[in-house]
């Protein structure tokens, strides 16, 4: 294969985020610094009899506030719509033309790619459950596929079915921006969009693309999604206190709060950003990926995979654990994650573990599943820019076993030169990305 | 920085022709057809009644005793990957924890895994009793589902259908602790996973990279979807004549199931352990189709052409160095036309055109797995110096001047180009080179 001539530096030149705390990056950031919660009773479907009746929904969202030609995208799944809006915001900031057949921004579209960590869309619930109800023979305990065919062939909508595929957000994004460069989408559960950013950064570093629109898109706030997580007992069931239900690292944490969103980060080679006079927000300096290779049901009890991903990212960045100023944790508010993640941080950061502020913004925005890593990456960039660590809210009853500096309940002014973002996925896929304040 | 050469040192395939790569090649080489009437479920009322199904197997026989409990959490897609991985590891001469924990000869931290996977659809029989429990006057009632229905489903249900679980299960069996990823770009997933796996080696993040893909498309929901999207062939007739890539009588794809795992490593690493090298991965390219409707490729085939050109450039070769093209060739007319245009644009100027050999007329379209089964077929083709007969490509569409032959050919094959793309738009191309 063609040799890599010289590693390129990778910078961030645009951000866009649609999440339960808002539709604009600056508003969302302010909400986080104010400790606001985006968690309320679920309205997307009737979950009143489910073990969990609340979630972190994106509210009052309208794609036409972000792009002109809504028609070709409007049938997209929720994740697709969110990520298109996030991309419109990010591209505006980065000076990238969207929705134009002949873009005037001087960017070669064959050198502009896409890399998302994107989830599947919601199934067409009424038709799906209707088709099963129509064709299940409860006495014989078997499906009548003739009845299934009759029902589903007349009721299922082809476009709706197509839009559930996890590669569709990336496809829509290509259409919106005209990107013809290397394009992929990955889905490593809750670590997907951190992985996407890490891999995208490497592709730019290796010269495979000048610009990559990276990030994530996902919504699992639907009957089967909540069913799946409720059956795993992974969700908080604090139905009487949804606002404070996401309480990472606290003794009373009882599960994560399912959220949804779309996040876009424009990654660009320093060369390209300079040539275009784009504003540089931060630099991506390291990426590490690992697998637990333990069990699909549990994390490795000593956090082996997490430690390995952290070390791989530090090594990739050519720095040590001593150089990290802030950690954006995965911090899901499940009993298992928060305790194992704490162990992993202790192991990787040794004597400095307790000195490094590490917070979880999931305490406010919920867990955006596949999109969460990219949303948290954005908070790292802003934390560096403004010199402020966002808080872990709802941390009023610390778990005695968990004794790191989680930045409880209030943001903290501090110089942040280098931030590290952690994401761990179900099944044991771990990803870590390191962001640094940009200097020439 | 000096250039890195990535070679293939192991492969395994599960296909409608059998549970091994040798059976895959044998079937293709003898011009067999793996497409039959659907047996997995009663498809008599479905618009499409044919598929490429993998012969019966018990996944328990393919996993170490200690891991057998975990097979309960394996959907069929995962099973296909696990079976193919066992063969690939055996061929590679690697002794992983899954082969023999006492004799491991590879460092777990230096192995990576990057698989492609499709959109797994859940097993309806698993949900149906819960739906039946949630009916109110014959209609599904979400309140009853939340209260009673969902509690009838096994607690770990969700974990069976997460697309990353292919990589997780294979990774657990073989103790792969390095970088791990799952590409979900539908029918282009395999090649894209391969591209990324190669990068982990080139960047020095792993010595051994497991890659590949698996998908089980012979499933009522998925077949229903493909019919509705008008991508499935709904003709009746002799199954071995139904799927007709690039043929003027083409009328859609026939779907199937399969899995392929490929083991790659840096050339010096492979040489130092004196293992057999089957082929070299010479180049990779990927782009996007910007079609208006997302369902089919843009007619010009520009996104496919760009991927091919990038792969040739990456391999530092030109069009005339390719001796064999294994196209995506789905037999969906709009897509064949787009792919045909792309191939024509890149290779049309040559007086002696590379052979074009579509496999889906025999193998069926195995979704995410298809592009990997093609790569494995390409490896056999190179090493045997054989291009098997193309099936059902009798009168090429659009007057394309392609070098397609209904006869088996023997020749020296230097480089093979494999192409894939998907609805949604992602396109990919891979160049395999004869190892010398």
pLDDT digit string (tens) for B256-301?
Answer: 999 999 999 999 999 999 999 999 999 999 999 999 889 999 999 9
- The sign of the CA dihedral B244, B246, B252, B258 is positive
pLDDT band at A101 (very low <50, low <70, confident <90, very high): confident
Please state, rounded to an integer, the average pLDDT across all residues of chain A: 97
Cβ atoms of A330 and A422 closer than 8 Å: yes
How many C-beta atoms lie closer than 10 Å to residue B102's C-beta? 7
Q: What are A301-332's pLDDT values in tens digits?
A: 999 999 999 999 999 999 999 999 999 999 99
Q: Who among B147, B179, B284 is closest to A49 (CB)? A: B147
Q: What are A181-204's pLDDT values in tens digits?
A: 999 999 999 999 999 999 999 999
Give me the percent of chain B exceeding a pLDDT of 70: 100
Query: Exposed/middle/buried for B65, CB within 10 Å: 0-12, 13-18, 19+?
Result: exposed
> Is pLDDT at B24 greater than 70 in this prediction?
yes
Q: Who among B135, B164, B220 is closest to A425 (CB)? A: B164
Per the rule left: phi > 0, alpha: psi between -120 and 50, beta: everything else, A113 is beta
Weakest mean pLDDT among B89-98, B175-184, B285-294, B366-375: B285-294
Q: Residues of A with CB below 8 A from B224's CB?
A: 148-149, 152-153, 156
Partner B contacted by A101 (CB < 8 A) = no
Examine the residue annotation and report whether A190 is marked as an active-site residue of this protein. Answer: yes
- Where helices occur in B296-384 by DSSP H, the ranges are 302-315, 333-347, 360-363, 370-384
Please state, rounded to an integer, the average pLDDT across all residues of chain B: 96
> Is pLDDT at A372 greater than 80 in this prediction?
yes
Give me the percent of chain A exceeding a pLDDT of 70: 100
Cβ neighbours of residue B356 closer than 8 Å, sequence gap 6 or more: B246, B325, B327, B343, B390, B402, B403, B404
**What is the structure's pLDDT at B2?**
45
* Nearest CA-CA distance, residue A258 and chain B, Å: 15
Q: What are A199-238's pLDDT values in tens digits?
A: 999 999 999 999 999 999 999 999 999 999 999 999 999 9
Q: What's the CA gap between A83 and A121, in Å, rounded? A: 13
Give me the percent of chain B exceeding a pLDDT of 90: 97
> Is pLDDT at B1 greater than 60 in this prediction?
no
Q: Residues of B with CB below 8 A from A69's CB?
A: none
Q: Residues of B with CB below 8 A from A150's CB?
A: 45
Cβ atoms of B167 and A291 closer than 8 Å: yes
Report, as an integer, the average pLDDT of B144-167. Answer: 96
Mutation target to probe the A interface, by most A beta carbons within 10 A, among B135, B138, B141, B179 is B179
Q: What are A144-182's pLDDT values in tens digits?
A: 999 999 999 999 999 999 999 999 999 999 999 999 999
Q: What's the CA gap between B124 and B138, in Å, rounded? A: 18
Cβ atoms of A276 and A95 closer than 8 Å: yes
User: C-alpha distances in angstroms, B47 versus A146, A158, A169, B117, B228?
Assistant: 11, 14, 29, 25, 9
Report, as an integer, the average pLDDT of A40-56. Answer: 98
HEC string of A367-418 equals ECHHHHHHHHHHHHHHHHHHCEECCECCCCCECCCCCCCCCECCCEECCCCE
Whether ipTM tops 0.95, in short, is: yes
Query: Exposed/middle/buried for B156, CB within 10 Å: 0-12, 13-18, 19+?
Result: middle
pLDDT band at A2 (very low <50, low <70, confident <90, very high): confident
**What is the structure's pLDDT at A6?**
79
CA angle B242/B417/B81 to nearest 5° reads 70
Q: What's the CA gap between A287 and A186, in Å, rounded? A: 16
pTM above 0.95, yes or no: yes
Partner B contacted by A141 (CB < 8 A) = yes
Report, as an integer, the average pLDDT of B225-230. Answer: 94
Q: Who among A49, A183, A292 is closest to B288 (CB)? A: A183
Q: What's the CA gap between B396 and B386, in Å, rounded? A: 22
Q: What are B87-127's pLDDT values in tens digits?
A: 999 999 999 999 999 999 999 999 999 999 998 888 999 99
């Amino acid at each position: 294969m063609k040799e890599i001539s010289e590693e390129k530096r990778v910078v961030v030149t645009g951000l866009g985020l649609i999440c339960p705390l808002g539709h604009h990056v600056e508003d969302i950031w302010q909400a986080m610094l104010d400790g606001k919660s985006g968690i309320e009773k679920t309205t997307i479907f009737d979950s009143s009899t489910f073990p969990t009746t609340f979630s972190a929904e994106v509210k009052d969202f309208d794609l036409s506030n972000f792009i002109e030609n809504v028609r070709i995208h409007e049938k997209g799944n929720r994740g697709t719509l969110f990520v298109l809006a996030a991309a419109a915001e990010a591209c505006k900031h980065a000076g990238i033309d969207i929705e134009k057949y002949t873009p005037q921004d001087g960017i070669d579209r064959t050198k502009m790619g896409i890399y998302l960590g994107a989830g599947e869309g919601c199934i067409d619930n009424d038709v799906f459950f209707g088709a099963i109800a129509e064709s299940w023979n409860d006495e014989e305990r078997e499906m009548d596929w003739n009845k299934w065919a009759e029902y589903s062939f007349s009721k299922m909508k082809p476009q709706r079915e197509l839009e559930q595929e996890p590669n569709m957000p990336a496809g829509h994004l290509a259409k919106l921006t005209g990107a013809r460069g290397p394009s992929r989408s990955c889905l490593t559960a809750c670590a997907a969009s951190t992985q996407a950013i890490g891999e995208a950064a490497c592709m730019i570093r290796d010269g495979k693309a000048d610009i990559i629109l990276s990030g994530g898109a996902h919504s699992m706030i639907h009957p089967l999604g909540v069913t799946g997580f409720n059956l795993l007992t992974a969700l908080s069931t604090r139905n009487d206190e949804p606002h404070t239900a996401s309480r990472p690292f606290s003794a009373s944490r009882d599960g994560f709060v399912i959220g949804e969103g779309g996040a876009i980060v424009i990654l660009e080679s320093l060369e390209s950003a300079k040539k275009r006079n784009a504003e540089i927000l931060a630099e991506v300096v390291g990426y590490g990926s690992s697998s637990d290779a333990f069990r699909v049901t549990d994390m490795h009890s000593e956090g082996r995979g997490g430690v390995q991903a952290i070390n791989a990212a530090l090594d990739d960045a050519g720095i040590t654990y001593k150089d990290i100023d802030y950690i954006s944790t995965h911090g899901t508010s499940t009993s298992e994650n928060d305790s194992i993640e704490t162990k992993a941080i202790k192991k990787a950061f040794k004597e400095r573990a307790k000195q490094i502020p590490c917070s979880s913004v999931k305490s406010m925005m919920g867990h955006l599943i596949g999109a969460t890593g990219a949303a948290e990456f954005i908070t790292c960039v802003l934390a560096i820019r403004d010199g402020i660590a966002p808080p872990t809210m709802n941390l009023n009853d610390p778990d005695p076993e968990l004794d790191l500096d989680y930045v409880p309940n209030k943001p903290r002014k501090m110089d942040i030169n280098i931030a590290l973002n952690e994401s761990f996925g179900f099944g044991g896929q771990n990803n870590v990305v390191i962001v640094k304040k940009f200097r020439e | 920085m000096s250039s890195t050469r990535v070679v293939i040192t192991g492969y395994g395939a599960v296909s409608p022709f059998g549970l091994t790569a040798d059976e895959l090649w044998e079937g293709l080489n003898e011009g067999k057809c793996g497409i039959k009437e659907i047996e997995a479920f009663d498809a008599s009322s479905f618009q499409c009644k044919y598929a490429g199904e993998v012969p019966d197997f018990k996944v328990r026989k393919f996993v170490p005793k200690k891991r057998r409990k975990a097979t309960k959490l394996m959907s069929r897609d995962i099973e296909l990957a696990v079976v193919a991985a066992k063969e690939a590891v055996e061929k590679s001469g690697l002794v992983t924890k899954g082969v023999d924990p006492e004799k491991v000869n590879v460092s777990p931290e230096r192995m990576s895994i990057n698989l492609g996977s499709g959109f797994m659809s859940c097993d309806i029989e698993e949900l149906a009793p819960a739906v039946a429990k949630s009916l109110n006057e014959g209609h599904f009632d979400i309140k009853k589902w939340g209260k009673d229905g969902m509690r009838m489903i096994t607690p770990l249900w969700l974990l069976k259908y997460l697309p990353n679980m292919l990589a997780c299960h294979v990774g657990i069996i073989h103790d792969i602790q390095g970088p791990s990823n799952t590409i979900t770009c539908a029918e282009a997933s395999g090649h894209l996973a391969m591209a990324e796996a190669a990068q982990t080696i080139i960047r020095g993040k792993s010595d051994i990279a497991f890659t590949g893909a698996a998908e089980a498309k012979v499933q009522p929901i998925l077949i229903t979807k493909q019919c509705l999207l008008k991508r499935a062939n709904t003709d009746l007739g002799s199954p071995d004549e139904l799927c007709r890539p690039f043929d003027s009588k083409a009328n859609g794809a026939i779907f199937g199931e399969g899995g392929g795992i490929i083991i790659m490593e840096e050339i010096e690493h492979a040489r130092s352990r004196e293992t057999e090298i089957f082929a070299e991965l010479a180049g990779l390219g990927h782009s996007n189709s910007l079609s208006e409707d997302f369902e089919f490729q843009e007619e010009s085939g520009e996104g496919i052409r760009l991927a091919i050109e990038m792969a040739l450039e990456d391999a530092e070769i030109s069009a005339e160095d390719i001796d064999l093209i294994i196209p995506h060739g789905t037999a969906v007319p709009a897509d064949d036309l787009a792919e045909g245009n792309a191939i024509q644009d890149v290779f049309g100027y040559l007086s002696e055109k590379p052979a074009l050999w579509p496999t889906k007329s025999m193998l069926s379209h195995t979704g995410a797995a298809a592009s990997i089964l093609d790569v494995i077929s390409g490896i056999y083709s190179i090493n045997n110096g054989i291009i098997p007969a193309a099936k059902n490509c009798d009168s090429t569409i659009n007057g394309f001047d392609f070098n397609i032959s209904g006869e088996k050919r023997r020749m020296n094959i230097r480089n093979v180009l494999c192409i894939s793309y998907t609805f949604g738009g992602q396109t990919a191309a891979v160049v395999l080179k004869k190892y010398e």
